[in-house]
Chains A and B, each alone.
Chain A
């Protein structure tokens, strides 16, 4: 009944190649966009923005990025936290004006970038760092690559803790996002309106998702998937592994960097690298794409939503409604997330995205499955 192609005729190639070729699917997508862009900004408040929507949007970008690398290109990475830190610290440096020193003297200082371009620069710098740490992937694979990216994670956190230039020599070693606006609307700082920060993050999320979707179904995505499925075969049919792997690292790190920049500047406002971008963050994003679905754009969103909403939902039900002690609920959360990861790996290795695909198939035939 739903998701039927019947009566939906493509008369041009463009029609045939669009992201959502089925009319029902397309309209559902427009409705989601409409609600996200037009409805939510009018009903959102501080709690919804800071507890659910901002973390969801930001983690969704990170999950998209990691999914390109792990899900599409098959290169396992445990460095997501470190790459998010690169995004956050570059964003901070660009929004406060990058100062270049040479032997104790200030050579020059860039002007302060607008917050929008600071976030973009966060992505660009992370892409460069990502390519650098992606170079070993040409020689090492699988577990060994995972360990190499793990090294990146620890090295980057150490670097941002150690070199005072990155946090502008502040006494606490923290970076604090100063108040910045875009077109007169405050985006960072404590006095922001929830709708402004929400729309700012939503914009980046939508753009990243559209880019990711189109890249993964275009030539570059096919190359990534060829490398993922069998790199020697891919090389024989003419895929350049150097370019394919490095572009995957670059695009993936770009997204992760954007999410790190937003995470610091818009969502938290103040960040301590070891605490915010530790190995825990790398695992969290990895869990998101495993639960959501490897190699699926929708899966990145589903996984991010799941892991952001689950603790909050558990807390609301357990503490606020049932009146359980807070520590029991916190421990329960760990148990449930851990259990779910095991269950998903065994029962549904393709994650929530696969469940959704199956549901779509069922809906297509429903209510007459024969």
Chain B
């Protein structure tokens, strides 16, 4: 009997453990906790894209793909546990979708020679590949977001912001604090008054913050929020009758989940994005045929076409293309994490490539290099149409103010390099 149990356990392990020959793209997801509203669609999009590649093309370069999932609940301790447990399975690239976990993993992935992609999140100065050899944050980062938001406000105000008041409502964590430096610099450059309004984790209670906003009467409010904090903030803004078209969220504060709860009042709320919205792409036809209709959707399968789901698709597409690039560079289909890193550093996204993948006009063109791990910082503005219940792209993709952002990146990465004795990786 004992023997039998033992073999059963071993057989179970063999069946569940990843087969080593596959390409493994671990998904550090969070489907529970106060941030699940963002975590679920992203994880679904990420998994569905890889399912599509498996079903339609037989993987990448003939290698099947595995997406082992690990629940982090947006919690750094669990994130570390997930990273360690998935590391043994040969994960090619990590996308934690949490700035806190990203900070935790930056030194670890560098030591373990595994790349990490933090599109539009994480440590902004990781754009400097000379210092952060294994961390990528293309196509845009938090400071690009702050700068593009200000550019949008400049357009609205006819190019002059002197004497205006802009408030930043932010998640009081490493994530929310990221844009403060950029906005402070921008306020000096454009002469507006900048106010910080922190909201503590998880952000279900924001009465006092919005009371402060009602008293201070800022001309614009920018929000860096995530999870349940977004919905509460939008509702509170509606409650104090703040003009919604002067309320701008970062790309993590602009999904359907964040505005639907506030109903018609949320109409006109704006949010940034670094990729296009909607589901009107050829890729969705393939997804419908091979994934949705085949009953292979991840999760509940009800997220297709939402903003964050699209971001999951986009994130999966970027790493899949990077894996393809790595296969080309090294001439092997079964790549290692180290080869994957080379592929990410040589990644080039062109409009032609995106169109071939079924995502025309979906995201910006960019080329990664050893020095630039962060793309070119293009972002666009979207606006919520409460009647049609959809996000609409209302501007072109514009580039952030590189005169402000780049020196800050150089400064912050230099500080990290000197703290950790890092030599120039590209020299």
Contacts and interface: CB of A to CB of B under 8 A. Distances in A.
Given A50-B81, A55-B77, A176-B419, A321 B12 contact: yes
A190 B174 contact: no
A183 interface: no
Interface stretch (B106-114, B152-160, B304-312, B343-351): B106-114
B81 A321 contact: no
B349 to A, nearest CB: 28
- For the residues of A in contact with B, the DSSP-based class is helix
Interface string A1-20: 00000000000000000000
Interface string A261-289: 00000001111101110100000000000
A283 B200 CA distance: 18
B178 interface: yes
A50 B173 contact: no
Given A268-B80, A268-B104, A191 B111 contact: yes
Interface string B87-117: 1100000000001100110011011100000
A80 to B, nearest CB: 15
B200 A269 contact: no
Interface in A151-177: 161, 171-174, 176
Contacts of A329: 71
Interface in B200-217: 200-201
Given A176-B103, A312-B81, A330 B73 contact: yes
Contact of B177 (A47, A173, A278, A330): A173
A272 B32 contact: no
A161 B172 contact: yes
B31 interface: yes
A47 B87 contact: yes
Contacts, number: 108
Interface string A241-254: 00000000000000
B397 to A, nearest CB: 26
B253 interface: no
Interface string B59-85: 000000000011101011110110011
B84 A173 contact: no
Interface in A166-205: 171-174, 176, 178-179, 189-191
B294 interface: no
Given A268-B77, A275-B173, A172 B103 contact: yes
B221 to A, nearest CB: 21
Given A47-B85, A276-B77, A327-B71, 15 more contacts: A47-B87, A51-B80, A161-B198, A173-B173, A174-B103, A190-B108, A190-B110, A270-B76, A270-B107, A272-B76, A272-B103, A274-B201, A321-B12, A323-B16, A326-B31
Interface of B: 12-13, 16-17, 29, 31-32, 36, 40, 69-71, 73, 75-78, 80-81, 84-85, 87-88, 99-100, 103-104, 107-108, 110-112, 123, 172-174, 177-178, 180-181, 198, 200-201, 299, 412, 419-421
For the complex of A and B, the 10 pairs showing the least CB-CB separation, nearest first, are: A327-B31, A190-B107, A190-B111, A172-B174, A326-B71, A330-B32, A330-B71, A51-B81, A47-B84, A50-B84
